[in-house]
Amino acid sequence: MRIDIVSVFPEYLEPLRLSLVGKAIERGQIDLHVHDLRDFTSDKHRTVDDAPFGGGPGMVMLPEPWALCLESILESGKADGRSKPTLVIPVPSGRQFTQRQAEDLASLDWMIFACGRYEGIDSRVADYFAERCEVRELSIGDYVLAGGEAAVLVMVEAAARLVPGVLGNPESHNDDSFSESNEGFLEGPIYTRPEQWRGLAVPPILLSGDHAAVANWRKEQSRERTAKYRPDLLGGQE
């Protein structure tokens, strides 16, 4: 899988080189390219923004540096033998990023992430590249961040751990909250050693060795937690 990320703060994406995603990069499962948008400006101030048409506060990212940068990425991906990437533009006004979206991104061969700053990117950029890329405008939640970098860290990590071979144990995301094998519900409580810790005991069923009973208990707990915190996920089942 190839991932290109464009930002005016390329250092912000450095954490991707740590931990699980970092290991996947080292193993060659993910080919990560981070680009500085300012390298595609032509004035001495390396300007990437201007005032919004129609007035109002804040600044909007200029379309031309984005076009030059995205065109150079498209050329480089083509030389790499790849075709039509998915262009992800994180925006609070986009479709909600969910576990289903993460699963879908994990199945793609090539993704480009465009990190906005200020009031965001001139909307013509998404329209202009819609022929050469599959454009997805995605929001990670109902709040507004200062830039798209943190949203991209979230989306890349959520997708990368689902790429086959990235997690040590491929079964380990089966019980995850929101996973299809968990009926889309939240995961219930989890425990490890010691059995007694500071006066608190592990639920005895987990020590019973009865796998069917444990599975039933986990299912019940998962349902209870979902009803408590996310009744919307029960989809009319309560």
Q: By the criterion CB under 6 A, which residues form the site for ligand SAM?
A: 90-93, 115-117, 119-120, 139-141, 143-148, 151
Sign of CA dihedral 11, 152, 165, 110: negative
We find the least distance from the C-beta atom of residue 235 to ligand SAM, in angstroms, to be 24
Indicate which residues carry an active-site annotation: 92, 119, 161, 176
We find the least distance from the C-beta atom of residue 207 to ligand SAM, in angstroms, to be 42
Name 169's bridge partners.
Answer: none
E strand segments, the chain: 2-7, 31-36, 49-50, 60-61, 86-96, 110-114, 134-139, 196-197, 200-201
Q: Does residue 72 contact residue 40 with C-beta atoms inside 8 Å?
A: yes
Residue with Cβ nearer ligand SAM (117 or 218): 117
Closest alpha carbon to 52 in 63, 67, 43, 68 = 63
Q: What share of the chain is helix, strand, coil (3-state, %, to 5)?
A: 40, 20, 40
Q: Does residue 145 contact residue 97 with C-beta atoms inside 8 Å?
A: no
We find the least distance from the C-beta atom of residue 44 to ligand SAM, in angstroms, to be 25
- Token pair belonging to 165: 């071979």
We find the least distance from the C-beta atom of residue 33 to ligand SAM, in angstroms, to be 19
Q: Does residue 6 contact residue 35 with C-beta atoms inside 8 Å?
A: yes
Residue with Cβ nearer ligand SAM (146 or 212): 146
Residue with Cβ nearer ligand SAM (1 or 140): 140
